[in-house]
Amino acid sequence: MQTDRRVVEHPAWVIIGRLVSLSRRRLAATLVALWVIAFAAMNAVADALPPSTWVALKSLPRQGRTAIFALAVDPSNSQQLIAGNSEGSLLRSTDGASNWTSVYTGKTALTTIVFSPFNSGLVLAGTRGSGGLVSRDGGATWSVATGLEGRQVRVFTFSLTLVAAGTDQGVFISQDGSSWKQSGLANRSIDALAVTAIHAPVRIIAGSDGPLSAGTVPMFQSADGGVNWSPLSPAVSGSFIVKLAAGPLPPVGDTRPVIAGTNAGLFASNDNGLSFVALSGGIVLPSTDYTQLAFITDHHDRFYAASDGGGSGAGGIWRTNDGGQSFGSLVPPMRSITALAVSNDESPFLYVATFRPSDHVAALWVYRDTGGTPQGPIGSPTPVASGGRTSSGSSASSMFDFLTWSQTPYIALGMGALVVVLLAFLANTRSRRR
């Protein structure tokens, strides 16, 4: 009797005993609840990524052998993305680029896609000659933006009160992203924009094409939300600005850092674009074109810079944690980076599009940057599909990585729930036979 009592009072058997004592309806409800917990836990495992490891993703539907230039991730949901394929269509994923759904069919290539950091659900897309598109439901549905018809829209940037667009005929301004008006620089082709003051009066910096003989790139600033523009004359090498990015405010001061990528290098400014210092040209960071820039969440001194190499083989993606004083390469699987989307997380997801000029393979990758040494890739991209995750490394190393992996508790929770469900079912079946 003493032995039997000890067995019954064991916590696991107490749980199972209580499950068995439930009525059929309550038992069924309990089993369903446990199954939901297990399913959610296993889902989290399926969606999780190994830290600091490159993982190959499926290619975009009907992408063909053309580079991907438009890619964006929702700042409030790291699993939701919008991409533009080579046919001019917009595709949406809600599961971290595992699956894509066509949400808009166009006829001209997409040049840029941007989620608003201030208005949830607002997404804008620019095209190469067909103006702009706007979505207010996170990219599920789209409509044509008025006032931008026929324009090449290359960039969007946001303040708290307005949106600015850079086009082949100057800068356009909108209050809501739907209707647009010309604001200035109509005789200039604007390739890059950055808002350096998001509160009124809104300050905007614009970068334009310049003649090859000039030696410096033409830049302009507006201190009144695009009403008036004046030239800047920074000592920045190159013939045109490819990308501009403004970071968060530092803890001390009221001036945001500005990063400029040109076709000849990477530069930084701490005085609203009045002057720049060169960041590239060293051993780690080459003097090449920098087409992608992104800051990490609310860190003024942490950002990514990426390049397609301009066909030179000098492309790649680099990260700095000290405002550009030093850089580390993330060692991408392919060196030519054509699009970059960074999630709004402390350890962000990097969705990266690459292009291999030798055989015109366009590929998609994801990288969870936890600050560790870059590993991978897992899976091998092909022109059709990719994304299979394979194991690598020694068994001891794999076991250590598994035990220290942030998703291991979810695996334990899921397996435990499955065991309880199975034991409860068996116990209930045995009790009904008696």
CA dihedral 383, 242, 280, 341 (to 10 degrees): -50
pLDDT in tens, 251-281: 998 999 999 999 889 999 999 999 999 999 8
pLDDT of residue 64: 81
Quick one: which of 282, 286, 290 has its CA closest to 262? 290
Q: How many residues does the chain have?
A: 434
Do 21 and 136 sit in the same domain of this protein?
no
Query: Domain for residue 2, yes or no?
Result: no
Instruction: State the sign of the Cα–Cα–Cα–Cα dihedral 415, 96, 330, 61.
Output: positive
Q: What residue numbers bound the domain in which 17 lies?
A: 12-47+407-433
Do 39 and 61 sit in the same domain of this protein?
no
pLDDT of residue 312: 80
Say if CB 299 and CB 248 are below 8 A apart: yes
Query: Domain for residue 290, yes or no?
Result: yes
pLDDT of residue 195: 97
Q: What's the whole-number mean pLDDT along residues 62-78? A: 92
Do 132 and 24 sit in the same domain of this protein?
no
pLDDT in tens, 172-226: 999 999 999 999 999 999 999 999 999 999 999 999 986 655 556 889 999 999 9
CATH number of the domain that residue 64 is part of: 2.130.10.10
pLDDT of residue 82: 98
Q: What's the whole-number mean pLDDT along residues 89-112? A: 95
Place of tokens 């055989």: 359
HSE (CB half, 13 Å, CA atoms) of 367? Answer: 30
Q: What's the whole-number mean pLDDT along residues 7-25? A: 49
Query: Domain for residue 269, yes or no?
Result: yes
pLDDT in tens, 19-58: 445 555 555 555 555 554 544 444 443 457 899 999 999 8
Do 181 and 229 sit in the same domain of this protein?
yes
Is pLDDT above 60 for 386?
A: no
Do 58 and 22 sit in the same domain of this protein?
no
Do 76 and 37 sit in the same domain of this protein?
no
